[in-house]
Amino acid sequence: MHKEETINKMKKGCLIIGIISCLIAAFHLFCSISIFFTFQNQKEDPLNSTVYLYQSLIYFMSGIIMIIVAIMFFYISKTGIPFTNKTMTMVRTIAVGLFFKAIVPVLIPLIILGYDRTSFVMNITNSLLYMPMGVLFLFMSYIVKYGAQLQQESDETL
């Protein structure tokens, strides 16, 4: 009975986290769209338009990553099993998304403005925050993969 109680608590917790992730994703996507439309009105000034495009892209990528997080937690809530190959794939997808979130915003101003020291340093500094998170999620995917293998061995033993 204790195992079932733990699984039910995990399912409820994952459902709550999934719902919160959906709300955060909706907020980020809304911000991305509103900033993008502001960008459409600022096309005359390339520096301001680059800032708007950069911010819109950051919010959009965050929204997509949060959608993947929500899907992962809804999946765990539905199955009650966190250690599966599907979960491992989602964690790796989040890691790749974080790597893109670190690299792409640095490239956009470089492509639009060319090399501008101030914007380049600002974007590199912001991007350095997402690289370690991407590495962390990549290693977490290996932990989930190992847990899935242990789960499969346990199931085959029984």
Q: Number of structural domains, the chain? A: 1
Angle between helix axes 46-79 and 2-41 (nearest 10 degrees) is 160
What is the rounded distance in angstroms from the CA atom of residue 11 to the CA atom of residue 4? 10
Predicted pLDDT at 127 = 72
pLDDT reported for residue 14: 94
pLDDT of 1 strictly over 60: no
Q: How confident is the model over 49-103, as pLDDT tens digits?
A: 667 777 888 899 999 999 999 999 999 999 998 999 999 999 999 999 999 888 8
Give pLDDT, residue 94: 95
Average pLDDT for 131-155: 89
pLDDT: which is higher, 52 or 27:
27
pLDDT at 109: 67
Note the pLDDT tens digit of each residue in 101-136: 888 877 776 776 665 555 555 566 667 788 889 999
Let me know if 42 is exposed, middle or buried by CB neighbors in 10 A (0-12, 13-18, 19+): middle
Q: Which domain holds residue 144?
A: 2-157
